[in-house]
Amino acid sequence: MRKNGKQIRIGLLTLTCVSAIAVLVRVSLRPKNTPLSLTPFNFPESVPLPNWQFQQSSVPPIPPKVFLKPLAQKKYQYVRNQLQLNVEMRYFSLENASMTLYIKDYTEIKSVPEIRYHPEVGFYGIGVEGNLAYLSACINPRGKATFTDAQFKQNRYKFDFQPQRLLSWLIHDEPLLDRRCLWTHFSLPISNPSQSQQKINYLETAWFDWYAWWKTRFPPL
């Protein structure tokens, strides 16, 4: 038994050393500042959303002073009992994945939302500002949704540092840390402050359905 345990430890140590050497070779051979190309992606013209009727979709303008521009974007509009739900989708490759920064860059919202967690979906931010209820989150290529930069990075380290990912990185030139994010931003108008909780409930239900649809349809690398 001791001999088998020793052999296993030696095997693991050997695998670790080989992996480390492969990483060093891969980094040294790759030219500096060479961007990784991603497969072009276009958002669909419509996305089904239970209990909401699709109205239209469009490509929203990019604010002139934003720090990071999306790889692709789309705005969807839905109606339900005379309520209009706006859903904005932006496809990013991020260095800083704090959704608060992008909310301030791409919307008129200045408040900091409350961060919530759903065991099957992950983290998201939700809030009310003036006559608007809103919800924002980052859908990740692996793992659950995140809202803060720390959550995003923790998710990357957990799901990207896997043996099969290392092999793809070495052979197929895929990024070792997949920094892509589908930023989703929901908003609903509020005509009366007493309606706030009801609108928040609408947003959360719509977000859970939206996440379930997109989780299996994340853009390919």
pLDDT computed for residue 27 by the predictor: 42
Identify the pLDDT of residue 45: 98
CA 144, 148, 151, 154 torsion-angle sign: positive
Q: How far apart are the C-alpha atoms of 153 and 62, rounded to whole Å?
A: 26
pLDDT over 50 at 145, yes or no: yes
Q: What confidence tens digit (pLDDT) does each residue in 152-163 have?
A: 999 988 887 665
Q: Check if the beta carbon of residue 126 is closer than 8 Å to that of residue 200.
A: yes
Q: Look at residue 215 and give its three-state secondary structure.
A: helix
Q: 148: which DSSP letter? A: S
Quick check: 217 pLDDT over 90? yes
Q: Check if the beta carbon of residue 191 is closer than 8 Å to that of residue 101.
A: no
Q: Residue 28 has what pLDDT?
A: 39
Residue 87 near residue 75, CB atoms below 8 Å: yes
Mean pLDDT of 184-213: 95
In 23-177, which ranges are E strands? 53-58, 72-80, 83-93, 114-118, 122-129, 132-139
Query: In the chain, where are the structural domains located?
Result: 1-34, 39-215
Give the pLDDT confidence score for residue 34 in this predicted structure. 39
pLDDT at residue 164 is higher than 90:
no
Q: Residue 21 has which token pair?
A: 């050497």
**Greatest Cα-to-Cα distance within the chain, rounded to the nearest angstrom:** 73
Window from 25-29, 177-181, 199-203 with minimum mean pLDDT: 25-29
**Per-residue pLDDT at 56 exceeds 80:** yes
Q: Looking at residue 2, what is its pLDDT?
A: 53
Which three-class secondary structure state does DSSP give residue 75?
strand
At residue 221, does pLDDT exceed 70?
A: yes
Q: Mean pLDDT across the chain, nearest whole number? A: 84
- Count of all residues that appear for the chain in the document: 221
- Give the integer Cα–Cα distance in Å for 87 and 55: 12
What are the C-alpha distances in Å from 200 to residues 92, 102, 108? 26, 20, 19
Angle at 44 between CA 41 and CA 48, to 5 degrees: 140
The rounded distance, in Å, linking the Cα atoms of 139 and 71 is: 15
Asked if residues 159 and 143 have their Cβ atoms less than 8 Å apart, the reply is yes
Averaged over 141-160, what is the pLDDT?
93
Give Cβ neighbours of residue 88 (< 8 Å, ≥ 6 apart): 60, 73, 74, 75, 76, 106, 183, 184, 185, 187
pLDDT at 107 over 60: yes
The pLDDT of residue 101 is above 70: yes
